[in-house]
Amino acid sequence: MSTDHSAKVQRDAEGRLRHLITLDGLSRDEIVALLDLAQFYARTPGELAARDQTLAGHTVANLFFEPSTRTRVSFELAAQRLGADVVNLDMQSSSRVKGETVLDTIYTLQAMQADILVMRDAEPGLPAYVAKYVAPHVCILNAGEAHLSHPTQGLLDALTVRQTKGDFAKLKILIAGDLSHSRVARSAWHAFTTLGVAELRIAAPEDLMPGKDEFKGATRFTDIDKAISGVDVVMTLRIQRERMSGASIPDEATYHHTFGITADRLAKANKDAIVMHPGPMNRDVEIASAVADGPQSVIQRQVTNGVAVRMAVLATIARNVQARRHFQ
Ligand code: ASP
């Protein structure tokens, strides 16, 4: 299912966001509004977390059919900090779940008045499919859809870049690594291009480079040393072994040598460049440990921003539900 289809499905009759399935089709103003609200909720570790009752009376259900640490926990904390009831369903131990079975689970949750359903699944198109069947007051938030889309990750990455590097129109950003399997890269591409980044570069070994119909407008590199030179932001990606078949899995040591973000390579970027990684990291494979823990790394800040962004998305979606109720 195309992201174009998801872009339509996620809006209500008035064009408001009813679900969040993809960043495709979100305007610059919509993304900026979400980032501004996330900034309002953002606190640094050590400060007390932001809290309000925006989601009082709502029930958020987390349905993760693929593993997750950061995304699931941050959706849970975000919902709790906005006053919602939260339930977490452990779906991973169940056998591979197909559309109809997922719908049955969802109807069950709906019947218990869960009204915001956060979903992660390996099947492309599942969030948009489910969104068509849920009751009018129920919202679907995509927490990772196959290799296609991870909208809240794209937003938290954009927030992190905005906080640390400022104006997108002045920035050169590199997204590097296993691009062909990365939903993070696809959502980041949507966010960065919509926000008007000056130059977006993508770099991957030949085998992991997506087709030309994707990442339009980005400059493509297969040589990481050329790609990294002079950039302000280096976003590196995990090798997604779970989406590869045996023969195509790269050897870790060779990958690190030819494509990993090492201190020597990072020295070719701008002096004050930041380094990002969505996690979980394969240390000393796509990123050297010294870089991940080094002074240019903003990886922990990305995690902190994940909670703020998810609070902003939950609050925005709940406000749109209220607006619809008001006019019905
Ligand atoms: N956590 C991110 C995702 O779910 C990145 C990764 O798994 O590599 O896509």
Per-residue pLDDT tens digits for 50-77: 999 999 999 999 999 888 999 999 999 9
Query: pLDDT value at position 161?
Result: 98
Ligand 1 centroid to 247 CA: how many Å?
Answer: 22
Query: pLDDT value at position 244?
Result: 83
Question: Whole-number mean pLDDT of the chain?
Answer: 93
Same domain, 10 and 141: yes
Query: pLDDT value at position 3?
Result: 67
Same domain, 193 and 258: yes
- Of all atoms in ligand 1, which is nearest to the CA of residue 238? 8
Q: Which of 65-74, 157-166, 243-252, 261-270 has the lowest mean pLDDT?
A: 243-252
- Mean of the pLDDT values across residues 126-147? 95
Q: Whose CA is nearest to atom 8 of ligand 1?
A: 238
Half-sphere exposure of 121 (CA within 13 A, CB side): 26
Ligand 1 centroid to 235 CA: how many Å?
Answer: 13
Query: pLDDT value at position 170?
Result: 98
Rounded CA separation 309/49 (Å):
13
Same domain, 139 and 163: no
Answer yes or no: is pLDDT of 220 > 90: yes
Answer yes or no: is pLDDT of 122 > 80: yes
153 is in an annotated binding site: yes
Same domain, 293 and 246: yes
Same domain, 142 and 172: no
Answer yes or no: is pLDDT of 141 > 60: yes
98 is in an annotated binding site: yes
Answer yes or no: is pLDDT of 288 > 50: yes
Stretch (H or E) spanning 325: helix 299-327
Ligand 1 centroid to 236 CA: how many Å?
Answer: 11
Ligand 1 centroid to 148 CA: how many Å?
Answer: 11
Ligand 1 centroid to 324 CA: how many Å?
Answer: 33
Per-residue pLDDT tens digits for 85-112: 999 987 765 544 555 578 888 999 999 9
Same domain, 89 and 120: yes
Query: pLDDT value at position 243?
Result: 83
Contact 237, 287 (CB under 8 A): no
Same domain, 20 and 38: yes
Answer yes or no: is pLDDT of 22 > 70: yes
Residue 165's domain is classified under what CATH number?
3.40.50.1370
- Best of 73, 150, 153, 184 for a ligand 1 pocket test (most atoms within 8 Å of beta carbon): 184
Ligand 1 centroid to 184 CA: how many Å?
Answer: 7
Same domain, 127 and 222: no
> Does residue 277 line the site of ligand 1, with CB under 6 A?
no
Same domain, 96 and 168: no
Same domain, 36 and 104: yes
Q: What percent of the chain has pLDDT over 70?
A: 94
Q: Which of 35-44, 59-68, 239-248, 276-285 has the lowest mean pLDDT?
A: 239-248
Rounded CA separation 46/182 (Å):
32
> Does residue 151 line the site of ligand 1, with CB under 6 A?
no
211 is in an annotated binding site: no
User: Which 3 state secondary structure label does DSSP give 116?
Assistant: strand
Same domain, 126 and 241: no
Query: pLDDT value at position 95?
Result: 42
Query: pLDDT value at position 328?
Result: 55
Measure CA of the first residue to CA of the last residue in the chain; give whole Å. 31
**Residue 275, phi then psi, degrees to nearest 5:** -120, 130
Q: Report which DSSP code applies to 45.
A: B
Question: What are the structure tokens assigned to 10, written together?
Answer: 């996620």
> Does residue 250 line the site of ligand 1, with CB under 6 A?
no
How many domains in the chain? 2
142's CB contacts (< 8 A; 6+ apart) are: 6, 19, 20, 21, 22, 119, 120, 127, 149, 150, 151, 152
- Best of 238, 299, 310 for a ligand 1 pocket test (most atoms within 8 Å of beta carbon): 238
Alpha helices in 166-205 (DSSP H): 183-194
Same domain, 95 and 174: no
> Does residue 183 line the site of ligand 1, with CB under 6 A?
yes
Q: Which of 119-123, 142-146, 200-204, 274-278 has the lowest mean pLDDT?
A: 119-123
State which residues form the domain around 235. Answer: 151-298
Query: pLDDT value at position 94?
Result: 54
Residue with tokens 């610059």: 28
- Best of 150, 178, 186, 236 for a ligand 1 pocket test (most atoms within 8 Å of beta carbon): 150
Identify the residue with better confidence: 66 or 271. Answer: 271
- Mean of the pLDDT values across residues 264-285? 97
